[in-house]
Amino acid sequence: MKNSLAIISLVCAAAMAHAQAQNLSAEDLNRRTIERRAVEAVIWGMPAVNLDLMYQAMLKLGGKPNQVVYWSRLPDWKNQTLTPNPDVIYAMPFFDTKDVGPMVLEIPPADDGVINGTVMDAWQVPLEDVGPAGVDKGKGGKYLILPPGYAGAVPDGYIALPSPNYRGYALLRSILASGSDADVAKAVTYAKRIKVYPLSQAANPPPTTFLDAADVVYDSTIPYDLRSFQSLDRVVQAEPWLARDKVMINMLKSIGIDKGKPFDPDAQTQEALNSAAREAHALLESRYESMFRPYFDISRWALPAMPDYLKASTNGFSDPDAYPVDSRGLAFTFAFFTPKHLGQGQSYLMTLKDKDGQDLDGTKSYRLAVPANAPVSQYWSATVYDRATHGLIRNMTRSGRGSQSPGLQKNADGSVDIYFGPSAPASKEANWVPTNPSGRFEVLFRLYGPERPFVEKTWKLPDIERISAQ
Averaged pLDDT in 10-residue chunks for the chain of 470 residues: 50 54 82 96 98 98 98 97 97 98 98 95 97 94 97 96 98 94 97 98 98 98 98 98 97 97 97 98 94 95 90 93 96 92 81 98 98 95 97 97 96 98 96 98 95 96 91
Nearest to 94 by CA among 66, 116, 71, 121: 66
Q: What's the rounded Cα separation, in Å, for the pair 379 and 177?
A: 9
Write down the pLDDT at residue 8.
47
Q: What is the pTM of this model?
A: 0.91
Q: How many CA atoms lie within 13 A of 385 on its CB side?
A: 25
Write down the pLDDT at residue 100.
97
User: Which is it for strands 441-450 and 376-386: parallel, antiparallel or unpaired?
Assistant: antiparallel
Q: What's the rounded Cα separation, in Å, for the pair 175 and 173?
A: 6
State how far the alpha carbon of 388 is from the alpha carbons of 207, 281, 441, in Å: 40, 11, 8
Q: What's the rounded Cα separation, in Å, for the pair 286 and 280?
A: 10
Write down the pLDDT at residue 339.
86
Nearest to 255 by CA among 263, 267, 243, 245: 263
